[in-house]
Structure 1
Amino acid sequence: MALKPKAAKKLLIFLGKSVLALVEAVVFAIIPKPRKNVAGEIVLITGAGSGLGRLLALKFAQLGSVLVLWDISQESNEETCKMAVEAGATRVYAYTCDCSRKEEIYRVANQVKKEVGDVSILINNAGIVTGGKFMDCPDELIEKSLDVNFKSHIWTYKAFLPAMIANNRGHLVCISSSAGLFGMNGLADYCASKFAAYGFAESIFLESFTKGQNGIKTTIVCPFFIKTGMFDGCTTGCPSLLPILEPEYAVRKIVDAILQENMYLYMPKFIYFIVFLKSFLPLKLGLLLGEYLGAFNLMDGFTGAKKKN
């Protein structure tokens, strides 16, 4: 059946834009994108008291950003604050915030807007992992995983996105996980929360894009396990393809992705291949791949619930 003129025109526009997007992707795969300047930008990092959040704070301190640090632990957060000043930050603000509580997020967010200004780069990094079999995991821990790993993203977006929309300028960074791309044994609640965070960030990007708010950028980060203490005791069955990542490497790649305004970052690169295979492999072959990579026993040595909120 022949396409109507209007439908044919839309198809041609789609194909033309697709070709341009592919060419752009190939070019930037060879030649890195120019980095944006974040000196003076107000960067808010949740879960800044330790691990990945602390390292991200130190990196942005070196880049001259104004830092807003959130963590549930006042002592750890203040330690990060001191380290950031030593790393070169001239303005650092530390706030104690329990990211599992909506009302507290809104309260502290209003305080930030009054005392610091409009956040221009929001990094949702706070997270918790329980690491138990689904039927053995207490309800309150499952709820906590969803509250911190996913729902906190909703409330921080509600708090800080309006100013970004008004200025048509900002950057939303979602620290998801490879567990937000495919299910993992012993991580049912964690996977659910990270899948949700990924889908939410992608949906908000599309909503902004369709409204013409092209100044608001999104970066979604999906790393394999990182040696931050959050997954102590976990092992990988294939370290050459799926290594437990060094924190410094992960932070360097994340900051590069933000500065180059990349939409997605998967680490290590083998994750891209797994996602590609998942799209067409029969379930049985997928299970065989998971068995080969040791994906069914990653959590065997895990020692208990850890959080980076």
Structure 2
Amino acid sequence: MKFLLDVLLLLPLLIVCSLESFVKLFIPKRRKSVTGEIVLITGAGHGIGRLTAYEFAKLKSKLVLWDINKVTAQASCYFLALKLQTLFYIYVHMPCTTKAFLPAMTKNNHGHIVTVASAAGHVSVPFLLAYCSSKFAAVGFHKTLTDELAALQITGVKTTCLCPNFVNTGFIKNPSTSLGPTLEPEEVVNRLMHGILTEQKMIFIPSSIAFLTTLERILPERFLAVLKRKISVKFDAVIGYKMKAQ
């Protein structure tokens, strides 16, 4: 009962914050400069990672590019973190290695950690069990890290999470949904770069996905089942994922 009363007392603050957020929708946020900043991009050899590297290069950042290497050990990750700790600023994260770099970033109170997740990290999709599970974990990582930085009053280390709909990267064969056409990587990266430079916490592409994630928390389960059928997520196969013949 006391908790409910405490929440009611917060209603005036809710109204003020809501009005503030509404006004900010009409005020373009200033994009920060990343000229000369060190940018580490994992998965930089292909897809979104590669295109993101090109965009940061255009902005005159200093790039450290990583991709899969079977002989790379965990020790090399920490070695690089040690080498960069006095210079390291922006970190584009496609979940792997935050633990190694976060201490220097918090010490300098400067940096930006970007988690590339998916809309599938908020809304489940049948027959994408492993993929959805990993993306739910990525979204949870972003949210928890954001809260921990706030609890530690580390205001200079920013966080962003990218959550697009199906992207034309070849991972899923012939995807489709009534939410819109399959996204091209270039479109996703343009939105990602804008989100990083304006320090957005969560980037949904298309924006309607944010509305759907809210609906999922408040609508009756039976209605949600009908709504998901209307959204009509379809695909032929997940590349590299063998489904047992029926």
Same-fold status (TM-score > 0.5): yes
Matching residue's letter, 1:275: T
User: Which residue of 176, 184, 205 corresponds with 1:246?
Assistant: 184
The higher-RCO structure (CA 8 Å, 6+ apart) is 1
1:115–1:169 Cα change, 3 Å: closer
The reply to whether residue 234 of structure 1 matches residue 203 of structure 2 is: no
Q: 2:197 aligns to what?
A: 259
State the shift of 1:193 in Å: 0.8
Q: Percent identity?
A: 39
Q: 2:113 aligns to what?
A: 172
User: Which residue of 211, 227, 236 corresponds with 1:300?
Assistant: 236
Contact 1:237 1:293 in 2 (8 A): yes
Q: 1:82 aligns to what?
A: none
State the shift of 1:279 in Å: 1.1
State how many pairs are aligned: 240
The reply to whether residue 48 of structure 1 matches residue 59 of structure 2 is: no
Matching residue's letter, 2:146: F
Q: Give the Cα–Cα distance (whole angstroms) in 1 for the partners of residues 15 and 34 of structure 2.
A: 31
Matching residue's letter, 2:199: E
* Equivalent runs, 1:14-53 vs 2, <5 Å: 14-15=10-11, 17-53=13-49
Q: 2:157 aligns to what?
A: 216
1:122–1:281 Cα change, 3 Å: same
Q: What are the Cα deviations for residues 268-292 of structure 1, in whole angstroms up to 9, with x where unaligned?
A: 1121121121112222222222212
State the shift of 1:30 in Å: 1.5
User: Which residue of 119, 123, 129 corresponds with 1:188?
Assistant: 129
* Equivalent runs, 1:1-309 vs 2, <5 Å: 14-15=10-11, 17-72=13-68, 97=69, 104-111=73-80, 113-114=82-83, 118-125=87-94, 152=96, 156-231=97-172, 233-238=173-178, 241-295=179-233, 298-305=234-241
Q: What are the Cα deviations for residues 148-187 of structure 1, in whole angstroms up to 9, with x where unaligned?
A: xx5x2xxx12101001110111111111100100111111
1:20–1:219 Cα change, 3 Å: farther
Give TM-score, length-normalised by structure 1. Answer: 0.71
Unaligned runs of 5+ in 1: 73-96, 126-149
1:56–1:2 Cα change, 3 Å: closer
Matching residue's letter, 2:192: I
Q: Give the Cα–Cα distance (whole angstroms) in 1 for the partners of residues 61 and 157 of structure 2.
A: 18
Unaligned runs of 5+ in 2: 242-246
Q: Give the Cα–Cα distance (whole angstroms) in 1 for the partners of residues 207 and 188 of structure 2.
A: 12
Contact 1:243 1:268 in 2 (8 A): no
Give TM-score, length-normalised by structure 2. Answer: 0.87
1:15–1:165 Cα change, 3 Å: farther
State the shift of 1:109 in Å: 4.0
Q: CA RMSD in A?
A: 2.5
